[in-house]
Amino acid sequence: MDKRTWCFVAGALLLSVALAAFVSPFASSAPDGLEKVAAPATTTEAWTHAPLADYKAPCVRNELLATGMAGAAGTLFVFACGWVLSAALARKRFRKRG
Amino acid sequence: MHIPDGFVSGSVNAASGAAALGVCALALARAKRTLGEKQVPLLGVTSAFVFAAQMVNFPVAGGTSGHFLGALLAALLLGPLNACLVITVVLVIQCLGFADGGVTALGSNIFNMGIVGGLASYYVFRLLQAALPKTRVGFLAAAAMSAWLSVVLAALCCAVELGLSGTLPLKAAIFGMAGVHALIGIGEALITVTVASTVLAVRPDLIVAWQGEPDAALRGAALNG
């Protein structure tokens, strides 16, 4: 793969991590469209093992910091999962061709 | 628009989840055959951007917030089926890792945001693209309109699911969801156009919807090599 593509991917990833780490802590905390419309309905949580529930790193007192850390970690994890998935899908074909 | 647990009935979630699973299986099979070398890291970074951007809720009218969906943007960059994979990866991680969107609503969430917001809206984009001038402005205008529509359509599907599940009266759900998301869709259109025009300026070759279908390029590569 050419260097320019790697630079693009690295730049876009950096921007995404920065967005999650430094901008998302200041995002609006108002209820979203669905929460507003379905306000009378009640949630019954089925999955209570989420390690970073509500986008907050555990044991971090500062709310802004907790959200920024959870966001940055999540962004990197999503990147890794997306890459591993697509690399696994494409691998067989590239090997055959190469 | 992430539906939490307890909002959709088991049968609604199972039905929409089955449809989503079918499309994802198709997407996986197709990606296996057509995913280009450059698209491998691009799929990762698009997922990362969608995840990060979805965290940034912006205020809309009346004490409500909304956030970027990114399904149509992913479809523009990677193609409609790959966009379903991107949204599925993001939704599964948000659900299991961040308690955003219920496990018992995962099928419906993937259906609404991935299949309707990404795949179906991409074909609306294609129709608009065919009708509009084949220029950058025409491309971005088609992207803006279909991005807006992707959010409204996904919200309408969500409303129908809530109505069928008996969580809300169907009519109230449809009008409520469509109304709010018509506004949120404006944000979606703005972000989609901003990102698409930026990528168009620096790396137009990375936008599948600008370049044409990925397998056409691949067929060309296979013929040449």
> What are B108-123's pLDDT values in tens digits?
999 999 999 999 999 9
Q: Flag whether pLDDT at B225 surpasses 50.
A: no
Residue B46 makes CB contacts below 8 A (sequence gap 6+) with A82, B70, B73, B74, B77, B78, B86
What are B148's two structure tokens?
């807006």
User: Among residues B129, B39, B51, B140, which one has the least CA distance to residue B87?
Assistant: B51
d(CA B197, CA A37): 33
Tokens 């099979």 sit on residue: B29
* Amino acid identity, position B58: F
Per-residue model confidence as pLDDT tens digits over A27-50: 999 999 999 999 878 888 878 889
pLDDT band for B185, please (50, 70, 90 cuts).
very high
Per-residue model confidence as pLDDT tens digits over B143-179: 999 999 999 999 999 999 999 999 999 999 999 999 9
* Domain coordinates in residue numbering, chain B: 10-224
Q: Is the CB of B223 inside 8 Å of chain A's CB atoms?
A: no
What are A52's two structure tokens?
């970073």
* Nearest by CB: B202 against A8, A48, A86: A8
pTM of the complete model = 0.93
Residues of B (40-99) whose Cβ lies below 8 Å from A = 40-53, 55-60, 62-67, 85-86, 89-90, 93-99
What ipTM was reported for this prediction? Answer: 0.94
Per-residue model confidence as pLDDT tens digits over B9-31: 999 999 999 999 999 999 999 99
Instruction: Give chain A's residues under pLDDT 50.
Output: 98
pLDDT band for B224, please (50, 70, 90 cuts).
very low
Chain A contact set for B89 (CB, 8 A):
78, 81-82, 85
* Nearest by CB: A81 against B7, B62, B93: B93
Mean pLDDT value across chain B: 93
> Three-state SS for A58?
coil
Predicted local confidence at residue A95, as pLDDT? 64
Chain B contact set for A44 (CB, 8 A):
5-6
Handedness of CA B7, B177, B157, B143 (dihedral sign): negative
Chain B contact set for A30 (CB, 8 A):
57, 59, 63-65
- Percent of chain B surpassing pLDDT 70: 94
Q: HSE-up of B18 (CA within 13 Å, CB side)?
A: 5
Q: Is the CB of A87 inside 8 Å of chain B's CB atoms?
A: yes
Residue B68 near residue B53, CB atoms below 8 Å: yes
B82-103: average pLDDT: 97
Question: Does 1.10.287.3510 match the CATH number of domain B10-224?
Answer: no
**B59 strand-pairing partners:** B65
pLDDT band for B212, please (50, 70, 90 cuts).
low
Q: What are phi and psi of B154, to 5 degrees?
A: -60, -40
Predicted local confidence at residue A98, as pLDDT? 45
B95-116: average pLDDT: 97
* Nearest by CB: A27 against B5, B56, B173: B56
Q: Flag whether pLDDT at B214 surpasses 80.
A: no
Predicted local confidence at residue B223, as pLDDT? 47
**Cβ distance of A51 and B97 shorter than 8 Å:** yes
